[in-house]
A and B are shown apart, each in its own frame.
Chain A
Amino acid sequence: MKSALLAAALLLSALFLPKLTGHDPYLVGVMIEVLRMAALASAWNIIGGYAGQYSFGHAAYFGAGAYATSIILTAYPATDPLLALVAGIAVSCLIALVTGSIVFRLRGHYFALASIAVAEIVRLSVLNLEFTGGAQGLLLSDLSFHGLDLNSKTPFYFGMLMLLALTMGVTALLSRARMGYYLQAIREDEDAASSLGIDIARCKNSALVVSAALTSVAGSLYALYIRFIDTTAVLDLRLSIEIILTAIIGGVGTIWGPLLGAILLVPLAEMLRSNFFGQTLVSLGVVSPDSPAGRFFADGLAHAHVLVYGVITVLCILFMPTGLLGLFRRER
């Protein structure tokens, strides 16, 4: 009950956030990114956190949504974007079912390895095929959706917010429903779960399909929002890793963890990318801009955000493998 109230209060305040910032394009852009990563990590959490099946290839579902939507809208510009989004869901579910049927009979390292292999096959196919735009990517031109101004960022803020609310709603339902208990039983002990009559492969497959469908919607929204996609942006292994990292930092297998992770990680990545820390050090006079150290902080640090992600991953696994929410819970 308390968390339901908290959720309602958060959602309500999130509705007014763009207005509070005066629809500042930069800030709204960062907030969309927070919502996108939160939704992705939350969707991943269903299969990774609840069922304990760490997918290292979720970029495939994100990319499938983004590409299916873009391809349909470039070929038939008059199509309702919503229909293109549904097509993305269908493609993602298909990939999920094929992956699941191959690897869910196996345990341990295998699902992780196979999920990467599937994602790489999808990425390389998109890169080498003609109708996907290959290495050049796909550019979307004018879009219309029931009179909404799609040149502004605000509709996408609300789109991503709706998706995040939906994903977290599904997670909350799942943590109370029979299916959720089945998944957690599988995560804790597969043999015990199986001996209690749980159809393991079916449960894992349904969790993966739900997770893939939600991830795909995020991909479609992203494609409509950015209007340009290529394999590096939407299908790279790095995206899959960033999704997992976001969930891990917040707390795997919890409803709020992925959102918390995104709220922490996205602004940090944004500050590193725009070289906030380096500029601050230089402008505070801590390092002189002409010294080698100064040049590094002014220029090199902007390229170091993935390095920082690596350091965070290592520290997180070594010192708080259960995430921030896990730390909190243990202390209580």
Chain B
Amino acid sequence: MLFVQSLVSGLLTGGIYALAGMGMSMIFGVMNVSNFAHGDLMMLGMYMAYFAFTLLHVDPYLSLVLILPVAFLFGFVLEKIFINRVILHPHQNQILLTIGLGLIMSNSALLAFTSDPKILTTAYSSSSITIFNDVFVSVPLLRSFLVTCLITALLYLFLSRTRTGMALRATSQNREAAQLMGIDVSKMSAITFGIGTALSASAGALIAPTYYIYPMAGHSFLLKAFTVCVLGGLGSIPGATLGGLIIGIVEALSSTYLSTDWKDVVVFTLFLAVLLLRPQGLFGDKGGA
């Protein structure tokens, strides 16, 4: 039963990783940019959920209604001011720029909120329900997972059914051809970065009730989001969805059977193994080699 238990909790956390990974993968696919500020955007989402809860007494899941548009706008503006200037630069400049933006975000948070970890305690934070007689399912994680499914479904609908979504996918497939078809690719980039930011911030908000909230919280998620993307194939959204679930499960299984201290080592080793054996990702078709 231990196995089923870790499988279930891994799957639930994996949903949140998938959300963060999808945002990063979209940014990679449409803009061809590795966003190293992704973890820090997630951290901002955690703080937004925390303050919405403590100051406005809004439930963290309900506060997404607020966080999603605010984060989208923030990402949109960030792209317009900073990212679009380096979109045709070499990769390393994009990486350094986003690292710099991330440092500014995390250290501003450090100045504003201090390094003391904050805890978001809701009435249901430590409650769980029991399935199959002896498998516990954490209520906040289950709720997060359901919200994740909802957001993912909305994202798929947006990408497949709306004109903007189709234009985004076209830009992702071939930037020049999309431009020739009359798509405003620079606007697509800004929208993509906005969506990526919103997804990352909502992942942060969703994990906030079960995680310590502190200014450097984003760093460990950054590498996890990258692992999710590489596993699913850089730029592939279905890949990122599955990649997130796999990472969640791998992490949970290695904390159960190995130790919590080594779970990140297992995840990063998996990352290197994927690069070595299947650099296009488990489900990707965009070759990296």
Contacts and interface: CB of A to CB of B under 8 A. Distances in A.
Interface in A114-141: 114, 116-118, 120-121, 124-125, 127-128
Given A113-B34, A120-B223, A120-B268, A311 B275 contact: no
Interface in A291-332: 300, 303-304, 306-307, 309-314, 316-318, 321
Nearest to A314: B100
Query: Which interface residue of B85, B259, B275 has the most chain A CB atoms within 10 A?
Result: B275
29 contacts: A102-B272, A102-B276, A106-B288, A109-B28, A109-B95, A109-B234, A113-B226, A121-B272, A124-B265, A128-B262, A237-B219, A241-B99, A241-B103, A244-B96, A303-B107, A303-B110, A304-B107, A307-B107, A310-B99, A310-B102, A310-B103, A310-B104, A311-B100, A313-B99, A314-B101, A317-B86, A318-B85, A318-B97, A321-B89
A111 to B, nearest CB: 9
A181 interface: no
A107 interface: yes
Given A108-B288, A120-B268, A314 B276 contact: no
A2 interface: no
Contacts of A318: 82, 85-86, 97
Chain B interface main SS type = helix
Interface string B88-114: 010111011101111110011011000
A317 B82 CA distance: 10
B100 A121 contact: no
Given A117-B272, A124-B265, A108 B97 contact: no
A307 B48 CA distance: 21
A54 B92 contact: yes
A192 B222 CA distance: 34
Nearest to A113: B226
Chain A interface main SS type = helix
B181 interface: no
A316 B289 CA distance: 31
Contacts of B265: 121, 124-125, 128
A313 B91 CA distance: 15
Interface in B254-289: 259, 261-262, 264-265, 268-269, 271-272, 275-276, 279, 288-289
A120 B28 CA distance: 22
Interface string B124-147: 000000000000000000000000
B230 interface: yes
Given A121-B265, A124-B262, A314-B82, A112 B104 contact: no
Query: Which interface residue of A118, A241, A304 has the most chain B CB atoms within 10 A?
Result: A241
Contacts of B275: 102-103, 106, 110, 113-114
B264 A124 contact: yes
B127 to A, nearest CB: 32
A105 interface: yes
Contact of A310 (B28, B100, B272, B276): B100
A54 B264 CA distance: 23
Given A248-B96, A309-B103, A313-B99, A105 B289 contact: yes
Interface residues of A, number: 43
B176 to A, nearest CB: 18
Interface residues of B, number: 42
A109 B272 contact: no
Interface of B: 28, 34, 82, 85-86, 89, 91-93, 95-97, 99-104, 107-108, 110-111, 219, 223, 226-227, 230, 234, 259, 261-262, 264-265, 268-269, 271-272, 275-276, 279, 288-289
Nearest to A105: B289
A157 interface: no
Contact of B268 (A54, A112, A121, A304): A121
Contacts of A110: 275, 279, 288
A307 B103 contact: yes
Given A105-B289, A318-B85, A118 B102 contact: no
A108 B91 CA distance: 7
A56 interface: yes
Interface string A86-117: 00000000000000001101111110111011
A307 B262 contact: no
B220 to A, nearest CB: 9
A309 B230 CA distance: 29
Given A54-B91, A106-B279, A300-B111, 18 more contacts: A102-B276, A106-B289, A107-B288, A107-B289, A109-B34, A113-B271, A121-B265, A121-B268, A124-B265, A127-B261, A128-B259, A306-B103, A307-B107, A313-B96, A317-B93, A318-B86, A321-B89, A321-B93
B88 to A, nearest CB: 12
Q: Lowest 7 A-B CB distances belong to which pairs?
A: A310-B103, A313-B100, A307-B107, A314-B100, A310-B104, A54-B92, A128-B261
Contacts of A237: 219
Contact of A112 (B89, B95, B111, B219): B95
Nearest to B34: A109
Contact of B92 (A103, A107, A112, A304): A112
